[in-house]
Amino acid sequence: MDAERDKAPKPAAPDKAESFQSRKARLRASFLSQLPGRLADARRAVAELRAGEIEHARLDALYVLFHTLKGSGATFGFRQIGDAARTAEQAVRRAMDSGGHVEPTLPAELACLLDDLDALALAADVQADPDTAPGFELPGPQSRPEPAPGQAPDAHPGQPADRSQRMVYLCDDDPDLAAQLAGQLGCFGYRVRAFTTLADLRTAVESERPAAIILDIVFPEDENAGPKMLAELRSAEQETIPCIFISCRDDFEGRLQAVRAGGSAYCTKPIKTVELLEFLDALTNPHPPEPINVLVVDDDRELAQFHATVLEEAGMVAKAVSNPEQVLSLLDTFDADLVLMDMYMPDCSGPELSRILRQIPGHVSLPIIYVSSETDVERQHKALAVGADGFLTKPIEPARLVAEVALRAERMRILHSLMVRDGLTGLFNHNAIMQFLEVAVANARRGGTSLCFAMIDVDHFKSVNDTYGHPTGDQVLMALSRTLRMRLREDDLVGRYGGEEFAVVLNGAGVEPAKRILDALRTSFSNVTFFSDGQEFHCTFSVGVSDFPTFATPDALTEAADRALYRAKKGGRNRVEIATEQDALPEQSPDSAETSDGS
């Protein structure tokens, strides 16, 4: 039934240099050129309908065809085509709802509607001016709101932000807290000047403008002195300096004063350094955030391409696909933040595709929004019940499409980041790094590549805590996490395995390069000087490394790395040990693992 369309030339992938006006004209022309083929397909299917018989398959196919035509006709500005297709769709739906029984009058009714559609298709070239057609007004480039308190702005947890050389002023009347926070932020690459009085802060701002201010609310002179000072600084400054309030006040009044003074974020004491860092990164990061990635799935190629074009115009990265079968493999390589999905597609419906995605652990929380001309609320609810997140009705205004996609994708990035991050270090947490290890092993197996898994454990960490106190121990852990994040490649994965143990997945690395990299990290960390109560000290760590394919499963890799780490500790610490085949799980040699999972 789709034979004509398959022969039709596919719309070219969006060319970045091509203007939106010319893209929309091209897609509209492509829709028109394919219209006769689609109508011929429909006419053949109508001719094959047997009056008085049960005809599930032909009715299903006709339904998808008219439904698609309804949505794309309206989107490309051909309202009458959309209306006629809707009437035909409703006639087919009635037959489907009566158990697939074809009333004797149905074929003639549909043939009549197809005559109308043929006539409209002929007239279509002059029917609608694309510039005035609904659905063609473009929103401006996607603008992102400043992160609100509680929002984690970094879309890619575990990836370092370039914080080097960013000067931050911190003002708190508690000198110990000011010094401690300054020390911790310093571990993450910020240059911090700490002040205990507002007068000193004002003098410093007047002589050198900082990238951000961290400001207490309550000072001895006034319980709202911090917000008052910010308001004063802002009235004197040409450009506003971002400010994060820190306070032991968690009451509404304190928060209200902070917002009124223009505070961008609010952290309550005791301060969680990672939370503070996230706000600082968001407010001072000179790099724009990662664009939102959207996968658009619609069997109507022009419509998929059109929606992708609208999203790209708004600064997102959008891939259009018309065959649902390609979605899984595409998602392996395209890190989609959201899937925009048609509801009725001939070979696999939107709800079926949603179910398939929800059965894959990695896609359980991937936002799915249907874009469909289905207006029946009950059917919309049924489609949503399989795990989709929203419903947009075709034709959709570009501005609304962009806003809905941006809102949901941003929210999911925030939630995802909170779910997968460790609170102290900002690295992936235990569950996340173990899940990433599974994915990395599956990818390495499929691609025939290698990878290394390293377990890193700080040496004599208990005595660091015992000698210098727990907060200093925390600083050591934060400094190590930063060293790992800054020095490893972007596609390597770093997580906090637990306590003072860290896990690293070095994608594509063999044992020898992995050992070289980890030895370099070990040396550079051992050179970091820590300070506590006027005393200096250094820390080291030990590493156990296992590799794929010598160890073929995530369990085998973890166990082997753990055993190698034990040897490193036994052998005197501050060293990297490589796992050998003797470190394999007793019951699971690499060979048996290869066959047990069927690969």
**Interacting residues toward ligand GTP by CB under 6 A:** 424, 457-463, 465, 470, 473-474, 477, 499-500, 569, 573
For ligand GTP, the closer of residues 160 and 473 by Cβ is 473
Q: CA geometry: angle at 537 spanning 534 and 542, to 5°?
A: 155
In the complex, least distance from residue 499 CB atom to ligand GTP, rounded to whole angstroms:
3
For ligand GTP, the closer of residues 344 and 502 by Cβ is 502
Q: How far is CA 480 from CA 396, 485, 490, 590, in A?
A: 49, 9, 17, 32
State how far the Cα of 174 lies from the Cα of 290, in Å rounded to an integer.
37
In the complex, least distance from residue 425 CB atom to ligand GTP, rounded to whole angstroms:
9
State how far the Cα of 478 lies from the Cα of 472, in Å rounded to an integer.
10
For ligand GTP, the closer of residues 31 and 530 by Cβ is 530
Nearest residue (beta carbon) to ligand GTP = 473
In the complex, least distance from residue 475 CB atom to ligand GTP, rounded to whole angstroms:
8
The distance from CA 75 to its chain's CA centroid, rounded to whole angstroms, is 28
For ligand GTP, the closer of residues 471 and 508 by Cβ is 471
For ligand GTP, the closer of residues 473 and 495 by Cβ is 473
For ligand GTP, the closer of residues 76 and 497 by Cβ is 497
In the complex, least distance from residue 469 CB atom to ligand GTP, rounded to whole angstroms:
8
In the complex, least distance from residue 596 CB atom to ligand GTP, rounded to whole angstroms:
33
State how far the Cα of 79 lies from the Cα of 133, in Å rounded to an integer.
9
Token pair listed for 25: 């004209």
Specify burial of residue 378 (Cβ count, 10 A radius: 0-12, 13-18, 19+).
exposed
Token pair listed for 105: 């009058």
In the complex, least distance from residue 459 CB atom to ligand GTP, rounded to whole angstroms:
4
Are the C-beta atoms of residues 425 and 478 closer than 8 Å to each other?
yes
144: which DSSP letter? -
State how far the Cα of 425 lies from the Cα of 423, in Å rounded to an integer.
6
In the complex, least distance from residue 247 CB atom to ligand GTP, rounded to whole angstroms:
25
Alpha helices in 460-510 (DSSP H): 461-468, 470-487
In the complex, least distance from residue 480 CB atom to ligand GTP, rounded to whole angstroms:
11
Nearest to 416 by CA among 428, 405, 424: 428
Widest distance between CA atoms in the chain: 94
The distance from CA 367 to its chain's CA centroid, rounded to whole angstroms, is 10
For ligand GTP, the closer of residues 400 and 462 by Cβ is 462
For ligand GTP, the closer of residues 352 and 466 by Cβ is 466
